[in-house]
Amino acid sequence: MESPVPESTVRLLLALLVVVTAAPVSADTTFSLESVDTRNDVGEYLWLAVDDQGRPHLSYYDRTNGALRFAVRNGSTWNTRAIDGQDGGSDVGGYTFLEFDPSGNPHIVYYDWTDGDLEHAWREDGVWSTETVDAGGVVGRYGNLRFDAAGVAHVVYYDEGDGDLEYARNDGTGWQLETVDSDGDVGIKARMAIDAAGDLHAAYYDATNTALRYARRRGAEWEVVTVDDGGGQDVGSYASIALDPEGRPWITHYNATAGNPEIAIPSGSGFTSQVIDTAPGQRGWFTSLRFDPGGRPVVAYFDLTQRKPVLARRVNGTWQVGFVEPTRDEGPHVGLWILDDTTAHIAFYNESRQSLRYGETLLPVATETTSMGGLRARFGGVD
């Protein structure tokens, strides 16, 4: 039985071709924010998804109880519940990823800390079920789930024991497993997108070479390349990938050496690279990339120095950047979703309150001079 939580008032192909540093427009971003779940120490390893009715759904970790939790917003009320681990017999719910199948049923892949396995939970006809996807060693961190048009489930994830990027596929007959990339220690913080033809696109970190890697699956074959070798810098972590209106993959990631978020933009047979935010400090953890209805990239990420979530949008080649929450100690786990009606949804872990927060706003009509300060709250207030 889902328990209601009252609403408070209150994330190529061959080589790097050229680096272009953008001049960001800086202004704070006004979201209406509310608390989703205020239980003691919940909200890490979150994922945000919005259904066809515009209802936000969240999967996240309950650190106090070692459990996987799920939340859905119905009207003005958040309904939350534990999905797995609530019996106290195991510690589960890390590295969650939430996705809907073609029938609109929510599915979550997540990590079992106790057994080191990749797990899968799904709801059908109002009933939640769970299963193990891969128990072969220490596997399952950074799991990323997508469904194709036929309803086939695809998951990429990290094999910590072997340092490989792994792939699991389920067409209704059970999970089939294979290795995508085993060249060094690769697959950390993997993210995936699926195009209209059913091809898979995955971006992930190469820890051996501190580089950004990309894999594409055409049919049954994987093509693997280094997108950005860093040129001596540590790049490629906290990757996020999204397809533009032409079906081309764009990839955001963190440059740990410079302390900035960057984006790899498809150009010809390769990528160009652009710095999203040049503010001092360490900005760019947990990047989450989406495209707005106008085909412009929108990115959420965490500023480790200021301890705030940040939202950036690229308009006419210039990045407009602003804080989501003016107070400190928000984040660091951030999720972002853009709807066709230009509503931006964001969720993040509140570090000081050890709780889960959510907000939304209407994106303004983008022009070259529009700043993120033009964003205004859609509902509610800030506590």
Q: What is the pLDDT of residues 340-356, one digit of tens each?
A: 556 788 888 877 778 88
pLDDT for 36 equals 93
pLDDT of residue 163: 98
Q: What is the pLDDT of residue 38?
A: 87
**The predicted structure's pLDDT at residue 264:** 97
Closest CA to 260 of 326, 310, 314: 310
What letter represents residue 243's amino acid?
L
pLDDT at residue 3, as a whole number:
38
Place of tokens 């800086």: 26
**What are φ and ψ of residue 38, in 5° steps?**
-110, 15
Q: With a cut of 50, which residues of the chain have pLDDT below it?
A: 1-28, 365-383
Amino acid in position 303: D
In DSSP notation, 98-144 reads EEE-TTS-EEEEEEETTTTEEEEEEEETTEEEEEEEE-SSSEEEEEE
pLDDT for 315? 87
**Nearest alpha carbon to residue 292 among 207, 193, 364, 185:** 364
Instruction: Yes or no: say if 320 and 312 are a contact pair by the CB < 8 Å rule.
Output: yes
- Could you give the CA distance from residue 183 to residue 206 in angstroms, rounded to a whole number? 9
Could you read off the pLDDT of 18-63 as tens digits, one per residue? 222 233 444 445 667 889 998 889 999 999 999 999 899 999 999 9
* Predicted pLDDT at 336: 63
**pLDDT for the residue 131:** 98
**pLDDT at site 366:** 46
Question: Are the beta carbons of 356 and 43 closer than 8 angstroms?
Answer: yes
| Dist. CA 254–CA 248, nearest whole Å | 20
pLDDT the model gives residue 340: 56
Residue 53, C-beta contacts closer than 8 angstroms, at least 6 positions apart? none
Q: Which fold has domain 3-377?
A: Neuraminidase (2.120.10)
User: Residue 215: its pLDDT value, please?
Assistant: 98
Domain range summary for the chain, segments of one domain joined by +: 3-377
| pLDDT of res. 370 | 36
* Backbone angles phi and psi of 231, in degrees to 5: 60, 40
